[in-house]
Structure 1
Amino acid sequence: MTKPWRSHDEATAEMLRNDPAFAALYLESVLADGDQVDVLGALRHIVNAFGVQQVAADAELNAKTLYRTLSAEGNPELRSLTRVLAAVGLRLSVQPIVKKPRRTRTPRSPSATAR
């Protein structure tokens, strides 16, 4: 008998596995707003959705090393990071930062400063 519902974690894991665009947006939003611990946590969620053992094998990494790399204290090398991302169907990308236009002050009229 199948469950009539699934947990939030199960549904999220399924979306991360089956929708690369969703996984990319998730990781991208964390990259934009988070620090290294947040980014590694988000990547850990994605890796868990695919299965750590499978991702480690696909990335040609030791599973224990992968756990350590994605921990809060982890500091992955770029080579490891790109392998892990590739194993879950993602890649790094560089984009320009869109800067907000600076607000310019409007000069005051001579009559406004005389008041």
Structure 2
Amino acid sequence: MTTEKTLSPPKANTSPYDVADHLRTPEDMAAYLDAWLEDAADDISGIARALGDLARAKGMSQVARDTGLSRESLYRALSENGNPSFGTVLKVARALGLKLRAEAM
């Protein structure tokens, strides 16, 4: 009787992708938010999540200090189910060094 061994492929070391790890410069951050606003302008929760990604990229504790809001309230407001007030959006944008502008369509 012969026994056959099956070889399994080596396990890859992977980690979940986090866009916040790749948003390093103010230009990267502006382009990311601009893309959300351009491509998914009606996706309010998506835009809130995008702001959350940017806040995590800069450091949520720093953004909390700069906005005067608690980290917990920022995480909640900028989560998938978050619904930040316009005032919070403006405070976060300012803390990220971003300026929101209107443009004629």
- TM-score tier (shorter): 0.7 to 0.9
Amino acid at match of 1:58: D
**May I ask how many residue pairs the two structures share in their alignment?**
88
Match of 2:75 among 67, 77, 82: 67
Match of 2:35 in 1: 29
Q: For the residues of structure 2 that align with 1:44 and 1:65, how far apart are their CA atoms?
A: 11
Q: Secondary structure at the match of 1:43?
A: helix
Corresponding residue SS for 1:76: coil
One-letter identity of the residue aligned with 2:88: S
User: RCO higher in 1 or 2 (8 Å CA, sep ≥ 6)?
Assistant: 2
Question: What's the TM-score, normalizing by structure 2?
Answer: 0.73
| Cα RMSD for the two superposed structures | 1.8
Give the one of 20, 26, 41 matched to 1:20.
26
Q: Which runs of 5+ in 2 are unaligned?
A: 1-15
Q: Percent identity?
A: 38
Output aligned runs, 1:1-115, within 5 Å. 9=18, 13=20, 16-17=23-24, 19-34=25-40, 35-97=43-105
Q: Which runs of 5+ in 1 are unaligned?
A: 1-6, 98-115
Q: 1:84 is aligned with what amino acid?
A: V
TM-score by length of structure 1 reads 0.67
Q: Which has the larger radius of gyration?
A: 1
Distance in 2 between residues matched to 1:30 and 1:8, nearest whole Å: 18
